[in-house]
Amino acid sequence: MTQLRVNQSVIEIVQGDITQQDTEAIGNAANSRLAGGGGVDGAIHRAGGPSIMDELRAKYKGCPTGSAVITGGGNLKAKYVIHAVGPIYSRSSKDAKLLSSAYRTSLELCTQHKISSIAFPSISTGVYGYPVEEASRIALDTVKEYLKGHPEIKLVRFVLFDNKTFKVYEDALKEMELIS
């Protein structure tokens, strides 16, 4: 585990399974139809049970790329799931803005719902093909900037599934520590 303190808040990175996290909310890497899928999205719906999809269908008609919506956590330990839609990597300059916006909108939902701890997966770096080196810096920078102005969020944990992705996030966090 590696941590970076931002004022009174903490950014933490761990290797593990996001469905097992005990943070108040967990983030999901969803698609804009909110239709469920493979990867972390499939794992969250399997572990959380059908109430999550029922709520998505009842409340939302999809979600634009770069934004996020919130549901309850069903059978998960987390009380909420924040379904964020990252970009499909396209090598365009819009990719970074959309990825950053997916994380920022998720954090804004935390503020609105008085959620003080959230665990995120590495959005867009699976089937959506975003290179992890670049995506990890965007993710960590976006969270750090948000936490600077939002002390109500105490903990943001990145939960990386595989060791390679974990190491890349670890390096990015260390790099950030050196320049902060």
In the complex, minimum distance from the CB of residue 72 to ligand AR6, in angstroms, rounded to a whole number: 19
The verdict on 62 binding ligand AR6 (CB under 6 A) reads no
Specify the residue, 73 or 86, whose C-beta has the smaller distance to ligand AR6. 86
Residue in 63, 109, 123, 153 binding ligand AR6, rule: CB under 6 A: 123
Smallest distance from ligand AR6 to CB 100, Å = 14
Write out the chain in H/E/C secondary structure: CEEEEECCEEEEEEECCHHHCCCCEEEEECCCCCCCCCHHHHHHHHHHCCHHHHHHHHHCCCCCCCCEEEEECCCCCCCEEEEECCCCCCCCCHHHHHHHHHHHHHHHHHHHCCCCEEEECCCCCCCCCCCHHHHHHHHHHHHHHHHHHCCCCCEEEEEECCHHHHHHHHHHHHHHHHHC
- Is 41 marked active-site? yes
Catalytic residue, chosen from 17, 41, 54, 162, is 41
Per CB under 6 A, the segment of 66-74, 126-134, 135-143, 149-157 that binds ligand AR6 is: 126-134
Instruction: Give the active site residues.
Output: 41
Q: Which residues bind ligand AR6 (CB under 6 A)?
A: 17-19, 29-31, 37-41, 43, 86, 121-128, 159, 161-162, 165
